[in-house]
Amino acid sequence: MNKSLRMFLTLMLLAVLSVGAQSKKKKESKDKQEIIKLTSKLTPLKGSTPAQWRVIWTGDAAREATISWSTAVAGKSHKVYFGETAKLGKVQECQRNGEYTQDKKEKGKLEQAFYHHAVIKGLKPSTKYHFVMESDGTKSKPFYFITAPEKGTGFSIIHGGDSRSGHTARCKVNVMMADLIDKNPKIIAFAHGGDYIVSGRKWQQWRLWLSHHELTNGKDGRVLPIIPTRGNHDGGPLYKEIFNVDPKNPDWHTTSVGTDVAIVTLDTNVSGAGKQKDWLESELKRLRPKSTWLLTQYHRPLYPAVKGPPAHTKIFCPVFDEYKVDLALEADGHCIKRTVPIKANKADPTGTVYVGEGGLGVGQRKPKTDHWYLKGGVTGSEHHVMVLDFSESALRIRTILLNGKIYDDHSLKVRK
Amino acid sequence: MNLKIQDKTLIVLLSCFVFIGLLGALKPVLFNGGSSLAKYFAKQKQLEMVQEKNVEEYMESALFGDGSETLEVDGPVYSEAERTEAINIIFQYDSFIAVTLFILSLLLFVPKILEKYHLYHILIPISLWLLCLSIGSMLNGGKRYSELAILAHATRWGLPLVLWLVFYMKKKGHNILENKVVYTTAIICSSLTFAVHGWEAFNLNPPFQDLIYRFTSLIGINLPESVNFGILRAVGCMDLVLAAVIFFFHKPKIFLWMAFWGIITAFSRPLTMGFDAWPELAMRIANCAIPLGLFLIFKTQKQAVVEPELNNQKMEMIYE
């Protein structure tokens, strides 16, 4: 080969390699800057400064909510000021305060942290509530949330699950949720399908999740109320301390988003039969006649796209069929899934549609596409959230990816 | 019951059970997203590729005052496609190992070849692989008592080990029906599994509650919670007692009961969860297989002691 040609080819190769290295370096630097920028937005857990705030819905979302936060010191006085205007006007002392339980191995190594829960009742439906948290005289920034309507639809809820690992991706999904609520004020809540962290007994993991949750806030200070579900990785006392569940009570609950939409949250970590099934039956029996849209939410998928089905499938599904549940929100599989409508373990247009499987940051898995219930449905493996748009005639389910693309857009018609 | 078995019978029986157990473990690996260990490695790889630890340390420092003050970025930054490819490779290896072991396990049906060409050593990788699945379950967590998975699954990975010992001792010229190493290993494995399951039952492990609820509802009984809990605690006590007793009393009847209980609990899965749950049964077949093997061993040993005595008595009668 000609000497000059060889030289030319060598130079070309070097140029290509150098461009490749440059682009990697740029990407590396971009990612690093993004993480630093995101971290700077979060509130350090220091002294009595209220941090890690969240609004929790587990009951009548039109009239009550729990405003919760963390501090690094126990403090003496914790209250929330709230009202329909930025002037606030009302005050509620925290009814429940305590120290977050640390794992045996964490004690002595991690700083203590404390939770504060203020349950506020008697709220007006469809109303913007401003609030400021205060611990021992240190006030938070002003925030607000919107209560659910008294009746009717015309609002949206975000659903997602599995934020247990992949901190960068988790933060990015949270930022995406914040963008979504900025663009769409009709989104009023965030139903989390569980598996917030890897090991539910580790405060070290929860504290990071709680801080990252701040990223879901809108630019104007809007906080998206969270409807929590316990996942299989969320074992231990911290879940109840974080979401203000009485230690004596089970983790299943009903969130009434007005009179027309109800979300019945179940717990797939405990026995499905027995007390939980009895409770589920009584709740669905009570809610079905008055609900335009009846949803269930739980962690382990009853019609899974990745794993095998749990024992709960045989217990819960006949009850869903009997009371014509419209949509079941699932997580755990780390993928995207929408089944065909299912009734009596068969494809049936009058049956329940099962969606979800979780992509709030956790590494995605490959779904098994040849299940009968997925033929005619949708599967995928990307980080995502599902936006549920409720109207009188239809329930639209959009699966939105991190890049903003809509992966799946499906509508359920209202039952006659 | 007059029962006397040959070495071969025991080998064929245990081989069948090893094959069934392996089949049960293979199904989720090939059709339900990979083995527990592959899932663990995939998760670790994914976190390593996104430099989770560095990000975590930096954020912890900024938010909670511990960790690293600067965000270290070491190694290359991988794209989503590169990460997916790396994960796929892990699952490909996983499937390859599972399929290879399955093919090798077919040799279990030709014990003569296994013995002649020393191919019984394939039981060691089978046992190790099943042990790895238990380690994977333990590392992944997310289930109650997952930290006890290695002990709870002792019969699963122990069964191929016991069968390997049977072949090995036989090759060395030992009488396998009287070999202490063989039956002690089997007793340890059985005891561990019964002890952990007993502990879980005594502590009312929710999946066990559902098995009882589902079973009783199938026969039309709406079981109150208190009765369910009572049954579970009783079962738990029984399992714990059995786990301890078998170290001191090698009574065939005890092992027969354990084998019966093992098969009942294994069958309870597909019975209450539907036929799709057959791998759950297959995986638990070892809970029956090892006690059954022990029953056969000790029954034969007992008869070997009793029969010479009977023969002597007969002889004495003839002379009289």
- A361 has a chain B CB within 8 A of its CB: no
- Please determine, for residue A278, whether its predicted confidence score (pLDDT) is greater than 70: yes
pLDDT at B115: 87
CB A162 within 8 A of CB A119: no
Min mean pLDDT across B122-131, B243-252, B299-308 is at B299-308
B-proximal residues of A, 127-166, CB under 8 Å: 165-166
- A73 has a chain B CB within 8 A of its CB: no
Q: Which residues of chain A lie closer than 8 angstroms to B76, CB-CB?
A: 24, 28
B-proximal residues of A, 7-36, CB under 8 Å: 24, 27-28, 31-32, 35-36
Average pLDDT of the segment spanning B73-101: 87
**How would residue A5 be classed by pLDDT, with cut points 50, 70 and 90?**
low
Q: Which of left, alpha, beta for A324 (phi over 0: left; psi -120 to 50: alpha)?
A: left
Which one of A208, A307, A314 has the shortest CB-CB distance to B32? A307
Which one of A28, A165, A198 has the shortest CB-CB distance to B73? A28
Name the residue of chain A whose CA is nearest to B47's CA. Answer: A166
What is the C-alpha to C-alpha distance for residues A174 and A226, in angstroms, rounded to an integer? 13
Q: Which residues of chain A lie closer than 8 angstroms to B223, CB-CB?
A: 274
pLDDT at B76: 72
pLDDT at A2: 65
Mean pLDDT, chain A, rounded, equals 93
pLDDT at A19: 56
Question: Is domain A51-146 classified as CATH 2.60.40.380?
Answer: yes
Q: Which residues of chain A lie closer than 8 angstroms to B232, CB-CB?
A: none
CA distance A290 to chain B (A): 29
Which one of B33, B58, B210 has the shortest CB-CB distance to A273? B210
Q: Which residues of chain A lie closer than 8 angstroms to B279, CB-CB?
A: 308
Name the residue of chain B whose CA is nearest to A312's CA. Answer: B210
Cβ contact A45–B64 (<8 Å): yes
Q: Which residues of chain B lie closer than 8 angstroms to A168, CB-CB?
A: 50, 52, 55
- pLDDT tens per residue, range B61-86: 999 988 677 777 666 778 878 888 89
Average pLDDT of the segment spanning A90-117: 96
**How would residue B28 be classed by pLDDT, with cut points 50, 70 and 90?**
confident
Burial (Cβ within 10 Å: 0-12, 13-18, ≥19) of residue A376: exposed
% of chain A surpassing 70 pLDDT: 94
- Please determine, for residue B312, whether its predicted confidence score (pLDDT) is greater than 70: no
Provide the 10 A C-beta neighbour count for residue B223: 18
Cβ contact A111–B64 (<8 Å): yes
- Please determine, for residue A254, whether its predicted confidence score (pLDDT) is greater than 60: yes
CA distance B18 to chain A (A): 22
Which one of B42, B210, B274 has the shortest CB-CB distance to A271? B210
**CA dihedral for A79, A85, A86, A88, sign (positive or negative):** negative
Best to test chain B binding among A35, A49, A206 (most B CBs inside 10 Å): A35
Cβ contact A314–B274 (<8 Å): yes
Torsion angle, alpha carbons of A262, A268, A272, A275, to 10:
-60
What is the C-alpha to C-alpha distance for residues A70 and A72, in angstroms, rounded to an integer? 7
Q: Is B164 helix (H, G, I), strand (E, B) or coil?
A: helix
CA atoms within 13 A on the CB side of A191: 31
CA distance A160 to chain B (A): 18
Which one of B28, B141, B223 has the shortest CB-CB distance to A199? B141
Return the residue matching tokens 């914040």: A178
Higher pLDDT, A205 or B317: A205
CA distance A273 to chain B (A): 6
Cβ contact B32–A31 (<8 Å): no
Measured N-to-C along each axis, helices B52-64 and A203-213 cross at an angle, to the nearest 10 degrees, of: 80
Average pLDDT of the segment spanning B307-319: 55
- pLDDT tens per residue, range A107-164: 999 999 999 999 999 999 999 999 999 999 999 999 999 999 999 999 999 999 999 8
Which one of B47, B65, B71 has the shortest CB-CB distance to A35? B71
pLDDT at B69: 75
Q: Which residues of chain A lie closer than 8 angstroms to B25, CB-CB?
A: none
pLDDT at A6: 73
Q: Where in chain A is the domain with CATH 2.60.40.380?
A: 51-146
pLDDT at A20: 55
pLDDT at B307: 59
Whole-Å CA distances, A258 to A82, A144, A182, A246, A390:
21, 19, 22, 24, 12
Q: With CA atoms as reference, report the closest residue to B75 among B54, B57, B91, B95.
A: B54
Q: Which residues of chain B lie closer than 8 angstroms to A368, CB-CB?
A: 31-33
Best to test chain B binding among A314, A364, A370 (most B CBs inside 10 Å): A314
Q: Which residues of chain A lie closer than 8 angstroms to B203, CB-CB?
A: none
Provide the 10 A C-beta neighbour count for residue A101: 16
Q: With CA atoms as reference, report the closest residue to A65 among A131, A114, A115.
A: A131
- Please determine, for residue A215, whether its predicted confidence score (pLDDT) is greater than 80: yes
Average pLDDT of the segment spanning B171-183: 91
Q: Which residues of chain B lie closer than 8 angstroms to A169, CB-CB?
A: 50
Average pLDDT of the segment spanning B299-308: 72
- A208 has a chain B CB within 8 A of its CB: yes
Return the residue matching tokens 């992944």: B140
% of chain B surpassing 90 pLDDT: 69
Cβ contact B46–A166 (<8 Å): yes
Average pLDDT of the segment spanning A288-292: 96
Which one of B31, B73, B141 has the shortest CB-CB distance to A368? B31
Structure tokens at B11: 């080998």
Q: With CA atoms as reference, report the closest residue to B292 among B244, B262, B259.
A: B259
Mean pLDDT, chain B, rounded, equals 90
CA distance A61 to chain B (A): 30
Cβ contact B209–A274 (<8 Å): yes
Q: With CA atoms as reference, report the closest residue to A297 among A272, A323, A273, A265.
A: A265
CB B75 within 8 A of CB A54: no
Cβ contact A233–B141 (<8 Å): yes
Topology of domain A155-413 in CATH is: Purple Acid Phosphatase; chain A, domain 2 (3.60.21)
- Please determine, for residue B314, whether its predicted confidence score (pLDDT) is greater than 60: no
- pLDDT tens per residue, range B38-51: 999 999 998 888 88
**CA dihedral for A236, A238, A244, A248, sign (positive or negative):** positive
- pLDDT tens per residue, range B273-284: 888 889 999 999
**How would residue B52 be classed by pLDDT, with cut points 50, 70 and 90?**
confident
- A371 has a chain B CB within 8 A of its CB: no
What is the C-alpha to C-alpha distance for residues B284 and B196, in angstroms, rounded to an integer? 14
CA distance A366 to chain B (A): 7
DSSP codes of every residue in B172-229: TT--TTS-HHHHHHHHHHHHHHHHHHHHHHHTT-HHHHHHHHHHHHHTT----HHHHH
- Please determine, for residue B177, whether its predicted confidence score (pLDDT) is greater than 80: yes
DSSP codes of every residue in B256-291: HHHHHHHHHHHHHHHHHH-GGGHHHHHHTHHHHHHH
Q: With CA atoms as reference, report the closest residue to B130 among B267, B57, B217, B29.
A: B29
CA distance B138 to chain A (A): 12
Burial (Cβ within 10 Å: 0-12, 13-18, ≥19) of residue B310: exposed
CB A386 within 8 A of CB A159: yes
Q: Where in chain A is the domain with CATH 3.60.21.10?
A: 155-413
Higher pLDDT, A2 or B120: B120
Task: Report the number of secondary-structure helices (H) and strands (E) in chain B.
Answer: 14, 0
What is the C-alpha to C-alpha distance for residues A169 and A162, in angstroms, rounded to an integer? 11
pLDDT at A249: 95
**How would residue A17 be classed by pLDDT, with cut points 50, 70 and 90?**
low
pLDDT at B273: 85
- pLDDT tens per residue, range B187-201: 999 999 999 999 999
- A235 has a chain B CB within 8 A of its CB: yes
What HEC string does chain A produce? CCHHHHHHHHHHHHHHHHHHHHHHHHHHHHHHHHHHHHHHHCCCCCCCCCEEEEEECCCECCCCEEEEEEECCCCCCEEEEEECCCCCCEEEECCEEEECCCCCCCCCCCCCCEEEEEEECCCCCCCEEEEEEEECCEECCCEEEECCCCCCCCEEEEEECCCCCCHHHHHHHHHHHHHHHHHCCCEEEEEECCCCCCCCCCHHHHHHHHHHHHHHCCCCCECCCEECCCCCCCCCCHHHHHCCCCCCCCCCEEEEECCCEEEEECCCCCCCCCHHHHHHHHHHHHHCCCCCEEEEECCCCCCCCCCCCCCHHHHHHHHHHHCCCCEEEECCCCCEEECCCEECCEECCCCEEEEECCCCCCCCCCCCCCCHHHCCCEEECCCEEEEEEECCCEEEEEEEECCCCEEEEEEEECCC
- Please determine, for residue B122, whether its predicted confidence score (pLDDT) is greater than 70: yes
Whole-Å CA distances, B313 to B305, B310, B316, B319:
13, 5, 5, 10
What is the C-alpha to C-alpha distance for residues B155 and B282, in angstroms, rounded to an integer? 12
Greatest alpha-carbon span in chain B: 99
The set of residues, in sequence order, having a beta carbon less than 8 Å from that of B195 and lying 6+ positions away, is B151, B239, B240, B243, B244
- Long-range contacts of residues A34-39, Cβ cutoff 8 Å, at least 24 apart: A34/A168, A35/A168, A35/A171, A35/B55, A35/B58, A35/B59, A35/B71, A36/B58, A36/B71, A38/A171, A38/A175, A38/A215, A39/B58, A39/B59, A39/B62, A39/B63
CB A165 within 8 A of CB A361: yes
Position B64, amino acid = F
- Please determine, for residue A401, whether its predicted confidence score (pLDDT) is greater than 70: yes
Count residue pairs from A and B with Cβ separation < 8 A: 135
pLDDT at A25: 52
Name the residue of chain B whose CA is nearest to A169's CA. Answer: B50
Average pLDDT of the segment spanning B212-226: 92
Pairing of β A406-413 and β A394-401? antiparallel
Which one of B47, B66, B228 has the shortest CB-CB distance to A274? B228
**How would residue B93 be classed by pLDDT, with cut points 50, 70 and 90?**
very high
Pairing of β A226-227 and β A187-192? parallel
- pLDDT tens per residue, range A165-200: 889 999 999 999 999 999 999 999 999 999 999 999
What is the C-alpha to C-alpha distance for residues B26 and B96, in angstroms, rounded to an integer? 11
Cβ contact B64–A207 (<8 Å): yes
Min mean pLDDT across A408-412, B92-96, B161-165, B311-315 is at B311-315
Best to test chain A binding among B57, B63, B209, B281 (most A CBs inside 10 Å): B63
- A45 has a chain B CB within 8 A of its CB: yes
- Please determine, for residue B2, whether its predicted confidence score (pLDDT) is greater than 90: no
Q: With CA atoms as reference, report the closest residue to B43 among A84, A332, A166, A323.
A: A166
